[in-house]
């Protein structure tokens, strides 16, 4: 008998995140260029940081309401009204969380009964499957295809539906592929959700980071507002990963259920981060747009560069990742990533970290400087040569 025998079955059944392994290798080496991390290289815009400093000066150091500061909830509701004409009551339909990570966890825990199945288009963010398992659910992966620009269709989802399917967990713009869904795509998914009476958790953390037109919000599709738990946060669009602030929007029953879990496990999101988030929503858009324009420049550089090296890529339409096909090298994604970091000191993540459907791909993040991307491309060229 060892201590690990005493761990819960669900914890034992999930693997550690496939992203971390390459961070650990990189941490032991000098002069590594990292295309591995999924986080902006920008520092949070000064006016946002300053509002936090000023908040501290004014004595904002205590707990807030469990659901989050009323002013922040009002700003969030206003934001969705302005962008998508969606009505959320800031008293009942908005919950401020510790990052989208917490929102995702408690959304699943609020709706899943043991054995309920959750459809998850794949490749997908590393937490989707693990959080579903930890909530007692069964993740059911639905492979999205490169030929279809990694978009998912109702026909593909239909194959995996069973009487136990309770929900669907989608994330567009997508990590790791950079795929987005068109309005028509989402309308069709909405019809599918309605037909099978599914709850849809829609992680739209990259919603502000799109490069070919505006993001389409799933909750704004016909009849989807009440069926959808919409997740968003400040980590990516406002370069605020370390602040740990996100939110969930939905019908008042879902949000009340999530608030119960949040109340007992988190109590509230950090007050300093909430003060900063208010400033981000009130005045941060211009800084966010500048960062998006810079990501777009980097996206063009890396997309052209990888294609020229013979690594076939889908042109990412959102987020800050590109997902080249590396099968032409004859290596597996894990071999490619491990040899590349050891030989040329470029860190990226094997596509399999994002599910089986990531086989034959690697994920590169272009949330790093033009200079570093150019240098990384040269190193990859040498590696391939
Ligand atoms: N959802 C997706 C798709 C992500 O890529 C990430 C972080 O990489 C998260 C959620 C977690 O975000 P947060 O920092 O708000 O917890």
Nearest CA to 73 out of 205, 268, 244 is that of 268
CATH assignment, 3-44+286-384: 3.90.1150.10
Rounded distance between C-alpha atoms, residue 267 and residue 36, angstroms:
33
* Whole-number pLDDT of residue 111: 98
pLDDT band at 376 (very low <50, low <70, confident <90, very high): very high
Residue nearest to atom 10 of ligand 1 (CA): 100
Nearest CA to 123 out of 381, 295, 319 is that of 319
> Which atom of ligand 1 is closest in space to residue 246's alpha carbon?
15
* Whole-number pLDDT of residue 256: 98
Minimum mean pLDDT range among 29-33, 70-74, 255-259, 378-382: 29-33
Which helix (H) or strand (E) is 140 found in, with range? strand 138-143
**Ligand 1 centroid – CA 204 distance (Å):** 9
Which CATH number is 46-284's, of 3.40.640.10, 3.30.70.260, 3.40.50.410, 3.30.70.120? 3.40.640.10
Residue 263 has pLDDT above 80, yes or no: yes
**Ligand 1 centroid – CA 283 distance (Å):** 23
pLDDT band at 366 (very low <50, low <70, confident <90, very high): very high
The model scores a pTM over 0.85: yes
Minimum mean pLDDT range among 3-7, 92-96, 139-143, 266-270: 3-7
Q: What mean pLDDT do residues 45-72 have?
A: 97
Placement of tokens 């950090």 in the chain: 270
pLDDT digit string (tens) for 283-298? 999 999 999 999 999 9
Considering Cα of 356, then 362, then 368, then 370, what sign does the dihedral take? Answer: negative
* Whole-number pLDDT of residue 356: 93
> Which atom of ligand 1 is closest in space to residue 233's alpha carbon?
15
Percent of the chain surpassing pLDDT 90: 94
Q: What mean pLDDT do residues 241-266 have?
A: 98
Rounded distance between C-alpha atoms, residue 151 and residue 173, angstroms:
10
* Whole-number pLDDT of residue 264: 97
pLDDT band at 55 (very low <50, low <70, confident <90, very high): very high
Rounded distance between C-alpha atoms, residue 379 and residue 316, angstroms:
22
> Which atom of ligand 1 is closest in space to residue 171's alpha carbon?
3
**Ligand 1 centroid – CA 85 distance (Å):** 25
Q: Give ligand 1 pocket residues (Cβ under 6 A).
A: 38, 99-101, 125, 171, 175, 203, 205, 233, 235, 241, 246
> Which atom of ligand 1 is closest in space to residue 206's alpha carbon?
3
Residue 72 has pLDDT above 90, yes or no: yes
DSSP string, 239-268: T-GGG--EEEE--HHHHHHHHHHHHHHTSS
Which ranges in the chain are annotated with CATH 3.40.640.10? 46-284
**Ligand 1 centroid – CA 148 distance (Å):** 24
Of the residues 37, 96, 100, 215, which should be mutated to test ligand 1's pocket, given the most ligand atoms within 8 Å of the CB? 100
Tokens of 315: 């042109």
Of the residues 175, 237, 354, 363, which should be mutated to test ligand 1's pocket, given the most ligand atoms within 8 Å of the CB? 175
Of the residues 37, 96, 128, 235, which should be mutated to test ligand 1's pocket, given the most ligand atoms within 8 Å of the CB? 235
Nearest CA to 357 out of 181, 162, 176, 153 is that of 176
Residue nearest to atom 4 of ligand 1 (CA): 125
**Ligand 1 centroid – CA 362 distance (Å):** 19
pLDDT digit string (tens) for 173-217? 999 999 999 999 999 999 999 999 999 999 999 999 999 888 999
Length of the chain: 385
Q: What mean pLDDT do residues 324-348 have?
A: 95
pLDDT band at 270 (very low <50, low <70, confident <90, very high): very high
Spatial neighbors of 145 by CB under 8 A, at least 6 apart, are none
Measured CA to CA in angstroms, residue 272 lies from 136, 228, 265, 276 at distances of: 33, 29, 19, 6
**Ligand 1 centroid – CA 317 distance (Å):** 18
**Ligand 1 centroid – CA 198 distance (Å):** 23
Which ranges in the chain are annotated with CATH 3.90.1150.10? 3-44+286-384
* Whole-number pLDDT of residue 46: 98
**Ligand 1 centroid – CA 31 distance (Å):** 27
Of the residues 37, 236, 266, which should be mutated to test ligand 1's pocket, given the most ligand atoms within 8 Å of the CB? 236
Residue nearest to atom 12 of ligand 1 (CA): 100
* Whole-number pLDDT of residue 15: 86
* Whole-number pLDDT of residue 1: 81
Residue 23 has pLDDT above 80, yes or no: no
> Which atom of ligand 1 is closest in space to residue 125's alpha carbon?
3
pLDDT, mean over the chain: 96
**Ligand 1 centroid – CA 213 distance (Å):** 22
* Whole-number pLDDT of residue 206: 98
Burial annotation 17-34 (CB, 10 A radius, 16+ → b, else e):
ebbebbeebbeeeeebbb
């Amino acid at each position: 008998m060892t201590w690990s025998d005493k761990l819960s079955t669900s914890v034992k059944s999930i693997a550690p995140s496939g992203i971390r392994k390459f961070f650990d290798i990189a941490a032991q080496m000098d002069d590594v260029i990292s295309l591995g991390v999924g986080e902006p290289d920008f520092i949070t815009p000064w006016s946002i940081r300053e509002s936090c400093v000023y908040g501290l000066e004014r004595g904002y150091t205590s707990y807030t309401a469990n659901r989050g500061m009323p002013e922040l909830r009002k700003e969030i509701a206003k934001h969705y009204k302005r962008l998508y004409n969606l009505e959320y009551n800031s008293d009942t339909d908005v919950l401020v969380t510790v990052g989208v990570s917490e929102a995702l966890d408690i959304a699943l825990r609020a709706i899943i009964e043991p054995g309920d199945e959750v459809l998850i288009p794949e490749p997908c963010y590393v937490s989707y499957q693990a959080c579903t398992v930890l909530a007692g659910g069964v993740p059911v992966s639905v492979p999205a295809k490169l030929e279809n620009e990694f978009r998912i269709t109702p026909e593909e989802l239909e194959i995996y539906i069973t009487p136990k399917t309770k929900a669907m967990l989608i994330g567009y713009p997508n990590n790791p592929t950079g795929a987005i869904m068109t309005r028509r795509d989402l309308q069709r998914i909405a019809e599918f959700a309605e037909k099978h009476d599914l709850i849809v958790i829609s992680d739209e953390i990259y919603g502000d980071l799109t490069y070919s037109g505006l993001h389409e919000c799933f909750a704004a599709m016909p009849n989807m507002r009440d069926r959808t738990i919409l997740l968003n946060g400040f980590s990516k669009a406002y370069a605020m990963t370390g602040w740990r602030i996100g939110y969930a929007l939905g019908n008042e029953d879902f949000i009340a259920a999530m608030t119960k879990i949040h109340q007992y496990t988190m109590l509230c999101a950090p007050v300093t981060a909430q003060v900063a988030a208010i400033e981000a929503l009130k005045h941060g858009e211009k800084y966010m747009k500048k960062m998006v324009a810079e990501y777009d420049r980097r996206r063009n550089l890396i997309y052209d560069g990888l294609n020229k090296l013979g690594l076939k890529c889908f042109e990412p339409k959102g987020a800050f990742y590109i997902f080249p096909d590396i099968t032409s090298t004859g290596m597996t994604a894990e071999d490619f990533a491990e040899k590349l970091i050891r030989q040329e000191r470029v860190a990226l993540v094997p596509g399999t970290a994002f599910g089986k459907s990531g086989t034959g791909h690697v994920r590169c993040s272009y949330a790093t400087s033009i200079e570093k991307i150019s240098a990384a491309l040269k190193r990859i060229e040498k590696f391939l040569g």
